Amino acid sequence: MSTKTNAQPAPRREVTLAKPIIQGGIEYTPGGKQKPLLTEAQIERLTKSGHIGGGASAKTAAKSTPQEG
């Protein structure tokens, strides 16, 4: 039996920071030249703690916006 999985790495995207963070030994600061590449799970956690600017990720904002009928 093979122990290899067909799992793909989680997609990542750049985010705008409100507070500095350290990821992979690199410090990222708000307004810095480099922006961290984060997974959706990381973005969700950092949004809750206030490290990501805007207060909510696009995915969270879309879910919480009421639909007009």
* Residue pLDDT, tens place only, 20-65: 999 989 999 999 999 999 999 999 999 999 999 765 444 444 444 4
Amino acid 60: pLDDT: 46
Cβ burial of 35 (10 Å; 0-12, 13-18, 19+) is: middle
* C-beta separation of 60 from 31 below 8 A: no
Q: How many CA atoms does the CB half-sphere of 12 hold within 13 Å? A: 8
In single-letter form, the type of residue at position 8 comes to Q
Predicted structure pTM score: 0.63
